[in-house]
Amino acid sequence: MHKIACRPLCSLLLGCGLQLADAATPVGAPFPKVRPEQAFADLKVYGADSLPWRVPQEDWAGARQRATEPSWQKWVRDQRASVDDWMSRRQDRPEWVAGWWHDFVSPKDGSFLVWTPEVPGEETLASRSDPKVRLTPKLLAAWVFGFRSRHVEKMVEAAHLFRLTGEPKYGEWAASQLDFYATNYLKWPIQTSKVKARLMHQSLDDATLTVRLVTAARLLEPMVTPARKQLWLVQLLRREAALLEETFQSVHNIACWHRAAAGMVALYGQDEALWQQAVKGPYGLRRQIADGVTSDYFWFEQSLGYNSFVVAALTPFFKYAAQAGRTAELRVEIATVENLMLAPLSIRFPNGQLPNPADVSGGPGHAPNLSSLAGFSQLYPTPAGLAEAARQKSWTTLLDPPRAPAVVPPLPPVTSHHLESTRSVLLRRGPWQVYLHYGQVHPSHAQAEALNFELCHGDTDLSHDPGTVGYGSPLHRGYYTTGLSHNVPLIDGLGQEAWQPGECLVFDPAAGRVAARQSNYRKDASVTRELRLDEARLVDVVKVQMATNSAPRKLGLVLHVQGKVTVPPGLLPEAQFATGRPVGFSYWKDPRSATFRDRAVFEVLCGKQWFRVTFQVTGPFRLTHASAPDSPPRRRDAFYLETTGREALFTTTVEPLNRR
């Protein structure tokens, strides 16, 4: 058994809240990272230089030869057809002001609408749950985001086709669109509701668009006159870089996109001052990676989606820098970001599903994500990524064919470990695996989920974190970021009041035991959770303790299950279940409740396996079963237990049954 002392975090306790727009710098020393090039070594491919990353190649002569081969001919034809259609039918407009993609959601359940390139009319929008969605100005603006993003991506594809085929029409069309954005740039208003942006609604989207614009401009170099290049640099790219430098002077996932975009503009324009600012400035990429990547190689904002998001932000910049011969200044950063890509593999569940802390949308991810590993393999070769890339047709694999390994070795097994700098624990014993998220490093993207756990038994998903929905949906703040959406204790229906690092009290993998505490869970309330695993069962013990001078409170516990509960006849419909409780309770459907004393037992079918769930609370307690939102449009079964007092001890036991 090990007593765990957490890293001093008193300097982090500066505020509270959930998602912040432009203030996400973790306070204090950077997370130490020892020899990042050697971390996850069994997942990497090392070159003759003993480095786990490589300089990407652009072999245009070889690509032209490969494009004539039967295996590539259809793909090239499809690229031509897609770009030809877009060039002939689509055009961006100066009067279109882009909105926020997170607003492109169903008013019914927060799921994203289906985007099509046709300019929407009154009843042309739909989601998986809404066949007809009324068009509003906000939805139209969000649609413009989708159009402009795709339009610039088509510019990159057209530039590739120009370099491959030599046909002027592709190069001239892509160049004319760069002319369009350069000459109309100042006509778009600066939008400030999501931090300063001009081409898009938020600065993040301006940055991602700038990365593509630079890529298109770089590919067009052979046909571009010095005067035209200056037009793009002066009236578009440098203006964008300057605008991006005005905001996110902090450590944040979005700041990585800002600095990477500015760094790419610096490389394209051979602007050394801008390069120094983007890489070595107070919040340049060096600072982003030192302070933003934890010692466990997870992004400090904790959502695993931001691991891959930051890798996606920095990979185009690193590739461009490698081709420009600037990697000597970035060796530690490039190696660290590769580990950011690989770290989630170390906490995957047996069915490949990943834990889902913080507020990423779209439900839990999976590992290995072969698509991502393949997409990053030109810079970061891994056996699985190279093998997958070799099966793909893309501009990357046409220009720089991957060398697939003869054999892809199996992934290393997942083992119990304490991710101390990431405030979480992975515990594995026998058929059980549990992920406990006991605290946060910073408020940015935090949810009220301290002490939440996710659980599987073998390949069976028993309980997971759904994450959230599009940020523009009322369900984001009203439900998914709240305690009710997680397996956590509630006080008067509310979960964690403010982000807190928490502390791990016990981590004993040999005994299958972990315990953690949140001393300031809510005002005058502390909570301790202990999880114990053995071959036969999981035991979860939660203690809620109010201050001695506080009034009795409604103390509760939530448990979600990814299966169907057999509801006994004693639970009766409760029409007023949400009355007098926080708004999130109104999203639960078909609540059925009963009062129990000391103990309540249920059977649950998850996948093909039956489980017995036993709740124990001393004395009388109220238990409600209902249908709760999962990642939309899915739903899942949920329990809510509630008692009244200054102290409560909730003990939950989950064990598999032999029932068939």
* pLDDT value for 468: 93
Contact in structure between 614 and 600 (CB atoms under 8 Å):
yes
Q: Tokens 């279940």 — which residue? A: 577
> What is the average per-residue pLDDT within 13-42?
63
Axis crossing angle, helix 304-323 with helix 331-342, rounded to the nearest 10: 140
Contact in structure between 52 and 334 (CB atoms under 8 Å):
no
> What is the average per-residue pLDDT within 555-567?
98
Alpha-carbon distances, residue 480 vs 76, 111, 575 (angstroms): 43, 13, 22
Q: Which domains does the chain have, with CATH numbers?
A: 10-15+415-656 (2.70.98.70), 31-65+248-347+369-410 (no CATH), 67-167+189-226 (no CATH)
* pLDDT value for 535: 85
pLDDT grade, residue 282 (50/70/90)? very high
Which of 7-16, 17-26, 122-131, 406-415 is modeled with the greatest confidence?
A: 406-415
Contact in structure between 329 and 429 (CB atoms under 8 Å):
no
Spatial distance between the Cα atoms of 595 and 597, rounded to a whole number of angstroms:
7
What's 482-541 look like in SS3? Answer: CHHHCCCEEECCECCCCCCCCEEEEEECCCCEEEEEEEEEECCEEEEEEEEECCCCEEEE
What is this structure's pTM? 0.90
Contact in structure between 537 and 612 (CB atoms under 8 Å):
no
Spatial distance between the Cα atoms of 265 and 134, rounded to a whole number of angstroms:
40
Please check the confidence at residue 517 and state whether its pLDDT lies above 60: yes
Bridge pairing between strands 538-546 and 424-429:
unpaired
> What is the average per-residue pLDDT within 414-422?
96
> What is the average per-residue pLDDT within 144-168?
98
pLDDT grade, residue 132 (50/70/90)? confident
pLDDT grade, residue 17 (50/70/90)? very low
Spatial distance between the Cα atoms of 75 and 66, rounded to a whole number of angstroms:
11
Contact in structure between 1 and 508 (CB atoms under 8 Å):
yes
Please check the confidence at residue 559 and state whether its pLDDT lies above 50: yes
* pLDDT value for 30: 75
* pLDDT value for 388: 97
> What is the average per-residue pLDDT within 536-543?
97
Please check the confidence at residue 350 and state whether its pLDDT lies above 60: yes
Please check the confidence at residue 1 and state whether its pLDDT lies above 50: no
Distance between start and end Cα atoms, the chain? 38
* pLDDT value for 127: 83
Q: DSSP string of 118-187?
A: SPP-TT-B--SS-S-B---HHHHHHHHHHHHHHHHHHHHHHHHHHHHH--HHHHHHHHHHHHHHHHHGGG
Please check the confidence at residue 423 and state whether its pLDDT lies above 50: yes
What's 88-118 look like in SS3? Answer: HHCCCCCCCCCCCHHHCECCCCCCECCCCCC
* pLDDT value for 128: 79
* pLDDT value for 660: 59
Average pLDDT, the chain: 93
Please check the confidence at residue 271 and state whether its pLDDT lies above 50: yes
pLDDT grade, residue 3 (50/70/90)? very low
Alpha-carbon distances, residue 491 vs 276, 498, 579 (angstroms): 50, 13, 16
CA within 13 Å, CB half, 417: 14
pLDDT grade, residue 658 (50/70/90)? confident
pLDDT grade, residue 12 (50/70/90)? very low
> What is the average per-residue pLDDT within 523-534?
96
Please check the confidence at residue 319 and state whether its pLDDT lies above 60: yes
Q: Which of 48-57, 122-131, 242-251, 495-504 has the lowest mean pLDDT?
A: 122-131
Q: DSSP string of 39-94?
A: TTGGG----TTS-S-------HHHHHHHTTSHHHHHHHHHHHHHHHHHHHH----T
Spatial distance between the Cα atoms of 530 and 416, rounded to a whole number of angstroms:
15
- String of b and e for 400-433 (b: at least 16 CB within 10 Å)? bebebeeeeeebeebebbbbbbbbbbbbbbebbb
> What is the average per-residue pLDDT within 139-152?
97
* pLDDT value for 503: 97
Please check the confidence at residue 133 and state whether its pLDDT lies above 90: no
pLDDT grade, residue 9 (50/70/90)? very low
Q: Which of 176-185, 361-370, 509-518 has the lowest mean pLDDT?
A: 361-370
Closest CA to 82 of 5, 158, 31: 158
Task: Give every CB contact of residue 362 below 8 A, 6+ residues apart in sequence.
Answer: 305, 467, 631
Q: How many CB atoms lie within 10 A of CB 75?
A: 16
- String of b and e for 117-137 (b: at least 16 CB within 10 Å)? eeebeeeebebeebeebeeee
Closest CA to 481 of 63, 17, 35, 86: 17
Per-residue pLDDT reduced to its tens digit, 65-114: 999 999 999 999 999 999 999 999 999 999 999 999 989 988 888 888 99
What's 546-571 look like in SS3? Answer: ECCCCCCEEEEEEEEECCEEECCCCC
pLDDT grade, residue 129 (50/70/90)? confident
* pLDDT value for 228: 98
Spatial distance between the Cα atoms of 536 and 350, rounded to a whole number of angstroms:
18
Q: Which of 119-133, 197-211, 430-444, 632-646 has the lowest mean pLDDT?
A: 119-133
pLDDT grade, residue 25 (50/70/90)? low
Please check the confidence at residue 467 and state whether its pLDDT lies above 50: yes
pLDDT grade, residue 180 (50/70/90)? very high
Please check the confidence at residue 15 and state whether its pLDDT lies above 90: no
The tokens describing 488, both together, are: 């956590």
Spatial distance between the Cα atoms of 4 and 31, rounded to a whole number of angstroms:
18
Percent of the chain with pLDDT over 70: 95
pLDDT grade, residue 154 (50/70/90)? very high
Percent of the chain with pLDDT over 90: 88
Secondary structure (3-state) at 7: coil
* pLDDT value for 362: 85
* pLDDT value for 2: 36
The tokens describing 563, both together, are: 């299966």
User: Which amino acid would we find at residue 524?
Assistant: D
